[in-house]
Structures are given as structure tokens and as C-alpha cells.
Amino acid sequence: MNKFLFNKLLQNQGWNDNVLISTDENGIITSIENNSDDSAATKINGFALPGFQNAHSHAFQYAMAGLAEVHDISHTSDDFWSWRKAMYDLALSVSPDQMEAIAAMLYSEMVRHGYTNVAEFHYVHHDKNGQKYGNLAEMGTRMIAAAEKAGINITLTPIFYQKGGFGKAPTEGQRRFISPTIDDYLKLLEASKEACENYDGANIAIGIHSMRGVAPIDIAEIAKNGPQDIPFHIHISEQLKEIEDSLGYLDKRPVEWLLENVELSDRFHLVHATHLTEQETVGIAKSEANVVLCPSTEGNLGDGLFPLANFQNAGGKWSIGTDSHIGINPLEELKLLDYGQRLISHKRNIFNSTTEGNSGSFAIEMATIAGRKAMNNFETDYFKVGEPLNASILDANAPLLATSSNDKLSSAIVYTADATNQLGTIVKGRLSLAPRHASATKQEFGGLRNRQEVLRDFKKVIAELGNR
């Protein structure tokens, strides 16, 4: 049993002072007490938010973050599709051991930045020759092992990837991704589900790579007759070329086709959905499907800007992800999302739906509640007796946070805080202090879990890959 006494804790109705949270040996909250002065508790001089949810991750791409920014300008212009080639080259080269080491480093960095959960959109399934491993979920098992090593909750989302484009056979560069039939994918999904049973911080979701990556008729079949009690993730309408190809093949835009052929609900998570018509925007919102936005990656790839204001006005819900991990800080994702919208609308009150104009509170609420749904968690209370204690903690001594009143603190955090203000993260009741604070804070708790081992293994793998 642990007792944590926080300087401030964000609950659904707002910030409360001197909040005591007690947990059992499994990190489950047993009591929450406001205005406490329990001297036996571990005093956390920080402001605790619900743990951030990373609703979209391709872990292996962390190994190439920042490397696609050197361009040969004598040839074709650089865009998503040239970036994709570099990504394929990496995907074809990593071994299971290397995959685990890369993912563990990434997940450790996520925890350092306040993420407590990650949805791993995982599609590197087979060996380097494109043959199935004896364990169909070998690579997914490595993702789970990496999450356990780093101390983060993971929603493993094995991806159905079947085609090389609308109506096209897969390419040689996609050989590690491919499940030719629905039956092949369901076997992979079942093996992945079994792998999740080995770590109490793991669960499973369905994933479709994209409309171009799976035959549309098979997407509809999986949505209708596949497991109905787990989340369903899909990339959609990220690139203009994808929409052009969809129109040529289906005579429908991707989201247009999805709305007409799949009974969407709040278990569906449409990743990016960058390029939408007004009808599609409203249609997604009315269906209660969620959109997963990855602002740092979408900006890095030049994808475009999601029509957020119209989506929110129609009641749409969204979460955030770090996708290719060019950025890992959730507060930066939220700022980028908001500022992109401000720049195209010439307005400042974009995050203003349910929190009386408090942009920071709205951003935290949306990223938390919709993000949890991506992990198959429909709990709306930020902290609740009977639920695991997952929290992101900001340093109460950060100047702009320390001087903010409770009604302004959420916005001060979202718009002014950075990684240096991250005091620590609690995942299932276990506190990890950020490295710069761990050395200066006298507590029984240490730094990030297995940090030195994880960093050592990552450096070794990068040297082996020779790509950096």
C-alpha cells in the first residue's frame, strides 16, 4: 500500500489542494481525500494530471526520428511518399531483439514525458524474408516486453495489412507487414491477444492499416463480424493522393465510403482524417467515432490540418498520438494542434467546447477521455476509487505554474510547461521521477524504470543499424 500527498490534483470539477491518494499493492486507488495533511504519506510537491494517453504509435520509427530532414533537391520533391521509402528500409532491417530495444527506449521516453498508456499500431509482423515466425505474435510480444520493461501500459494493435494500394498487390517492401486474408489476420489477432496475457498492463485492439492497405470489403467484414468489444483503429484520409486513388477505385472518398459501409461507434478511432469534406466531418462526429490527431508527425510530413473547429462544433471527440515520434511531449502535441487551427482561422478560442472557454482544461479533458477509449477504457473520472493510479506530475516549483491560480493552472500547464517541468509519472501506482528530479529528491522511489539498461541497449542497436 502507498499513500501519495499531492500539492494539487486535477479532478473533473477542477484542481484541488493537498489531495491524498492511497493505493493497494497493485496500484489500485483505495481512497481519495482532499485537503489532507497526512504526515505518513509520500509528499509529492507537484501538480498531478490524469496520465496522458498516446493513442497512436509506430515504435520502430523512433529509430529514424529526425533523419528524414536531409533532402536531395536535384531529384523529386520530398513528401510523405519519399519519407515512406526510408521508413520501409528501416522496417525491413530490424530484428526482434532490435525492435524490443527501440520500443523500450521510446516507451521510457513516453513515461518521462507523462504518458501512462500507449496504443501500439503494430504492423512489422514477419521475419526479414516475409515469412511468419513460429510465434505469429513474435514482434508484438517484443512490444509488450518493451512496455513492461519501461513501465507503461500498452494496447497492442496488430495491424491488418493486405494490399500495396487500392486494388494492388503488396510490394516487396511491404513483405513483413502482410496478412493475405481475414483468416490470417484473425489468427494474428488471437496470438497477439494471448501475448497480452503475459503482462497485466497489456490489452488488445483491432487495427486496419488503411483503406488502401486492406480491401474495402474486408474492412467492412472485420468491422461487422470481428470482435465487437475492443477498439478498432484505422489510418484514413491522411494524404491527398490516397483520396484521389480512392475516388478512382471506389468512386468514393475514404471517409465517405466508411460512413456508408461501416456502422461506426465510439469504439472506432480514425487516425489523421486530415482531408475531409464538411459532410464527412459532421458524419464522423455524429457517428461518435473518435479521431486520433498526431500534430508533430502530421506537421513533419506535411499532411495538412484537420478541420478541428467544425468537428468540435458537431460534437466530435479527439485524442492525440505521437505516430512517428518526431515529438514525444503531449503538451507540445496539444499546443501544435491548437496553434495550427489558430493560424488558419485567425481565432484564438479553438478549444472551447465544454469548459467555459478554458482552453487548457478542454484540451486535457478531450485527450484524456477520448484517448482512454482508444485503450478500451471508458472511465470518465480522472481519478476514481477502484481504478489504477495513472498520473502525469508537473513540478510545483516551475515559476509560471507555481504562481497560477487553480482556475488558470490547466492552461498554464498546456501552454507554458515543457519537458523540464515534468516531475514524474505514476503508472499503476508506481512513481518514476524524471531523471533531473530523481537525483535531487530524497525519496524511496527512483528514476525511470530500467532506464540505464534500456538506454544501453538502444545505443547498441542504433550502432548495429548504422542509420543515425
pLDDT exceeds 60 at position 446: no
- Of 326, 343, 374, the one marking the end of a domain is 374
Asked if residue 283 and residue 176 are part of one domain, the reply reads yes
Asked if residue 155 and residue 36 are part of one domain, the reply reads no
Q: Is 89 a catalytic residue?
A: no
- Catalytic residue, chosen from 56, 272, 275, 325, is 272
Q: For residue 113, what pLDDT is reported? A: 96
pLDDT exceeds 80 at position 85: no
pTM (predicted TM-score): 0.95
Asked if residue 250 and residue 263 are part of one domain, the reply reads yes
462 assigned to some structural domain: no
The percent of residues in the chain predicted with pLDDT above 90, rounded, is 86
Asked if residue 399 and residue 277 are part of one domain, the reply reads no
381 assigned to some structural domain: no
Over residues 23-38, the mean pLDDT reads 96
Confidence class for position 350, pLDDT limits 50, 70, 90: confident
Q: For residue 69, what pLDDT is reported? A: 76
Over residues 22-41, the mean pLDDT reads 95
Task: Pick the more confident residue, 207 or 173.
Answer: 207
pLDDT exceeds 80 at position 438: no
Expressed as residue numbers, the domain containing 426 is 2-51+388-453
Please write the tens of the pLDDT for every residue from 185-234.
Answer: 999 999 999 999 999 999 999 999 999 999 999 999 999 999 999 999 99
Q: Is 72 a catalytic residue?
A: no
Pick the closest to residue 324 from 54, 101, 2, 15 (CA basis). 54
**Which CATH number fits the domain that encloses residue 363?**
3.20.20.140
- Of 316, 342, 374, the one marking the end of a domain is 374
Q: State how far the Cα of 439 lies from the Cα of 123, in Å rounded to an integer.
A: 38
Q: For residue 444, what pLDDT is reported? A: 45
Asked if residue 278 and residue 196 are part of one domain, the reply reads yes
Q: For residue 447, what pLDDT is reported? A: 72
Q: For residue 232, what pLDDT is reported? A: 98
pLDDT exceeds 50 at position 28: yes
Asked if residue 291 and residue 185 are part of one domain, the reply reads yes
Based on the structure, what is the number of domains in the chain?
2
Over residues 25-45, the mean pLDDT reads 95
Confidence class for position 74, pLDDT limits 50, 70, 90: low
Asked if residue 292 and residue 227 are part of one domain, the reply reads yes
- Catalytic residue, chosen from 323, 338, 395, 457, is 323
Asked if residue 292 and residue 151 are part of one domain, the reply reads yes
Q: For residue 442, what pLDDT is reported? A: 47
pLDDT exceeds 70 at position 355: no
CB atoms within 10 A of CB 97: 13
12 assigned to some structural domain: yes
Q: For residue 89, what pLDDT is reported? A: 82
**Which CATH number fits the domain that encloses residue 414?**
2.30.40.10
Please write the tens of the pLDDT for every residue from 313-326.
Answer: 999 999 999 999 99
- Of 351, 374, 397, the one marking the end of a domain is 374
Asked if residue 199 and residue 162 are part of one domain, the reply reads yes
Asked if residue 311 and residue 162 are part of one domain, the reply reads yes
465 assigned to some structural domain: no
Q: For residue 68, what pLDDT is reported? A: 75
Task: Pick the more confident residue, 438 or 238.
Answer: 238
Average pLDDT, the chain: 93
The percent of residues in the chain predicted with pLDDT above 70, rounded, is 94
